[in-house]
């Protein structure tokens, strides 16, 4: 917990986090791959003095269900390409790209990260994911996704290799002195010669050490392996959110894990994910939430709920109740926790539309600017959060409203900055520059 609340603006899809947010009147779905749309989002985030922009990613198109093609605005530009473009139309905001350590090579990632950090003046970040869909594996020569714990072992080694490559050159090793003709100091150059279980990488990297030393590393803490990797290597973690007590538990657990890994308790900044829907009045915010809910066609509701509960509901009527416990064989479940199923088991029959509305509403934080600011303060002061990854059900309208109504309130209360200072992204997160090899 700190006085200052960190803000990350999350773009799940170009149209927002809600599955049909692209239908919102403020959206521009025909521009999801063009710079104009993303420039507006990034510049609005910068107007709100967000610490970072944060782009989700997946290495596949979700064509598992027909309605996913018909109705789901799931096209995305490649994150680093987009962030590099945005680096030239923004000046201070962080630029965080989601990177799969399962389907990438560390040499490419280290180089791209270092390049973005140089070109943006110390604003690059990466969000480590391990990719879990079979569709992703099949775009990279595999049949099914790799076992969860193996993916995290690879992720762990990936971080080591990337950091090692980023340290190829000591900070002052690039002399670039035209008079003497000395370009680089040999004693400031380090070959990596990494030989691990997953990677063999010689190095050195052909870019100089970037402004942040190591660009900021995000992770999403979920599973046991994910939490351990984050506690050991991440600079910041975003987590599901939930109640103040849920956040407190998560924070205490992750801080204890960081200490067990020999790091300080605040070495990892913890940012629960929140999805505000902002209104002038509370009733206005609820109406807006209902309006977003109503954007989803019935076919997509059926397939979305099928996906959530792991059972096929296609062909049903979205408004006819079904009894999960009665209708499906759940005797041999190996599913990960699915809140929608727990709700169905607890409450008995429900319609698919009910399940959809329930699971959608529980992820929302609807209210006025001051109400949302109150909640941010509570999750920070009582929950121990360092900041928030702010999701928007639709874009760009969702971030416009947030910056117009919530940010001024947070600023008035002295909880977020009113202007950028002259720090790198890493420093803004309270982390010093990682020293080079010569200074450890």
Structural tokens at position 341: 């199923």
Q: Does 1 bind a copy of itself (CB under 8 A)?
A: no
Scan residues 335-374 and list those touching a copy of itself (CB under 8 A).
none
CA distance 16 to 130: 22
Q: Which of the stretches 106-114, 239-247, 352-360, 425-433 binds a copy of itself when contact is defined by CB under 8 A? A: 106-114
Q: Does 87 bind a copy of itself (CB under 8 A)?
A: yes
125 vs 372 by CB, closer to a copy of itself: 125
As measured in angstroms, the least distance from the Cβ of 154 to a copy of itself is 13
CB atoms within 10 A of CB 342: 11
34 vs 418 by CB, closer to a copy of itself: 34
Q: Does 72 bind a copy of itself (CB under 8 A)?
A: yes
CA distance 399 to 278: 10
Hunting for tokens 């509960």 — which residue is that? 309
Of the candidate residues 40, 47, 64, 138, the single one contacting a copy of itself (CB under 8 A): 138
Q: Does 111 bind a copy of itself (CB under 8 A)?
A: yes
295 vs 341 by CB, closer to a copy of itself: 295
CA distance 434 to 426: 9
Q: What is the 3-state secondary structure (H, E, C) of 116-169?
A: HHHHHCCCEEEEEECCCCHHHHCCCCCCCCCCHHHHHHHHHHHHHHHHHHHCCE
Q: Does 130 bind a copy of itself (CB under 8 A)?
A: no
CA distance 248 to 217: 22
Scan residues 273-312 and list those touching a copy of itself (CB under 8 A).
295, 297
Q: Does 150 bind a copy of itself (CB under 8 A)?
A: no
Q: Does 76 bind a copy of itself (CB under 8 A)?
A: yes
168 vs 391 by CB, closer to a copy of itself: 168
Write each residue from 4 to 43 as x if it is in contact with a copy of itself (CB under 8 A), else as -, in one continuous string. ----------------x-xxxx-x-xx-xxxx--------
Structural tokens at position 158: 């990936």
Q: Does 118 bind a copy of itself (CB under 8 A)?
A: yes
HSE-up of residue 240 (Cα within 13 Å, Cβ side): 12
As measured in angstroms, the least distance from the Cβ of 199 to a copy of itself is 6
Write each residue from 40 to 69 as x if it is in contact with a copy of itself (CB under 8 A), else as -, in one continuous string. ------------------xxxx-x--x--x
CA distance 368 to 384: 23
As measured in angstroms, the least distance from the Cβ of 240 to a copy of itself is 24
Scan residues 178-217 and list those touching a copy of itself (CB under 8 A).
178, 181-184, 186, 189, 191, 199-208
Q: How far is CA 36 from each of CA 20, 268, 409, rounded to the nearest angstrom?
A: 20, 34, 28
Beta carbons of 88 and 313 less than 8 angstroms apart: no
35 vs 287 by CB, closer to a copy of itself: 35
As measured in angstroms, the least distance from the Cβ of 105 to a copy of itself is 6
As measured in angstroms, the least distance from the Cβ of 64 to a copy of itself is 12
Of 263, 254, 167, 264, residue with least CA distance to 219: 254
- Classify 100 as helix, strand or coil: strand
Scan residues 399-438 and list those touching a copy of itself (CB under 8 A).
none
Of the candidate residues 10, 54, 103, 360, the single one contacting a copy of itself (CB under 8 A): 103
Cα 120 vs. chain centroid, distance in angstroms? 20
Q: Which of the stretches 134-142, 247-255, 352-360, 419-427 binds a copy of itself when contact is defined by CB under 8 A? A: 134-142
The two beta strands, 182-184 and 174-177, are antiparallel
- Classify 284 as helix, strand or coil: helix
Q: How far is CA 422 from each of CA 45, 180, 323, rounded to the nearest angstrom?
A: 17, 33, 58
Structural tokens at position 276: 């505000």
Q: Does 151 bind a copy of itself (CB under 8 A)?
A: no
């Amino acid at each position: 917990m700190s006085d200052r609340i960190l803000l990350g603006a999350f773009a799940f899809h170009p149209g927002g986090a809600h599955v049909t947010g692209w239908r919102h009147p403020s959206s521009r779905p025909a521009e999801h791959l063009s710079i104009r749309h993303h420039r507006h989002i990034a510049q609005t985030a910068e107007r709100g003095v967000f610490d970072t922009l944060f782009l989700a990613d997946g290495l596949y198109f979700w064509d598992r269900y027909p309605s996913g093609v018909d109705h789901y605005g799931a096209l995305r530009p490649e994150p680093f390409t987009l962030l590099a473009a945005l680096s030239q139309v923004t000046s201070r905001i962080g630029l965080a790209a989601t990177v799969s350590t399962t389907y990438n090579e560390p040499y490419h990632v280290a180089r791209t990260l270092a390049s973005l950090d140089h070109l943006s003046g110390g604003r690059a970040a990466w969000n480590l994911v391990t990719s879990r869909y079979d569709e992703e594996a099949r775009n990279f020569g595999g049949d099914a996704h790799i076992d969860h714990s193996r993916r995290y072992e690879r992720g762990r080694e990936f971080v080591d290799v990337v950091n090692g490559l980023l340290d190829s050159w000591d900070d002052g090793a690039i002399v670039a002195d035209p008079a003497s003709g000395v370009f680089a100091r040999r004693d400031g150059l380090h070959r990596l010669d990494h030989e691990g279980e997953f990677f063999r990488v010689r190095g050195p990297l052909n870019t100089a050490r970037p402004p942040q030393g190591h660009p900021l590393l995000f992770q999403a803490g979920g599973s046991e392996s994910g939490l351990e990797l984050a506690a050991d290597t991440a600079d910041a973690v975003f987590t599901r959110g939930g109640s103040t007590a849920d956040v407190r538990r998560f924070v205490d657990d992750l801080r204890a894990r960081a200490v067990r890994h020999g790091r300080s308790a605040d070495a990892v900044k913890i940012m629960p994910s929140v999805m505000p829907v902002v209104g002038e009045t509370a009733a206005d915010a609820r109406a807006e939430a209902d309006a977003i809910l109503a954007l989803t066609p019935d076919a997509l509701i059926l397939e979305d709920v099928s996906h959530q509960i792991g059972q096929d509901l296609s062909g049903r009527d979205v408004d006819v109740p079904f009894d999960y416990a009665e209708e499906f064989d759940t005797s041999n479940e190996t599913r990960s926790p699915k809140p929608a199923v727990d709700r169905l088991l607890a409450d008995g029959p429900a319609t698919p539309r009910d399940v959809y509305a329930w699971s959608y509403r529980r992820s929302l934080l609807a209210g006025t600017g001051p109400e949302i600011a109150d909640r941010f303060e509570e999750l920070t002061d009582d929950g121990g959060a360092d900041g928030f990854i702010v999701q928007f059900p639709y874009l760009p309208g969702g971030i416009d409203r947030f910056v117009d109504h919530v940010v001024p309130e947070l600023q008035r209360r002295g909880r977020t900055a009113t202007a950028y200072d002259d720090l790198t992204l890493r420093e803004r997160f309270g982390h010093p520059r990682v020293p080079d090899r010569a200074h450890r």
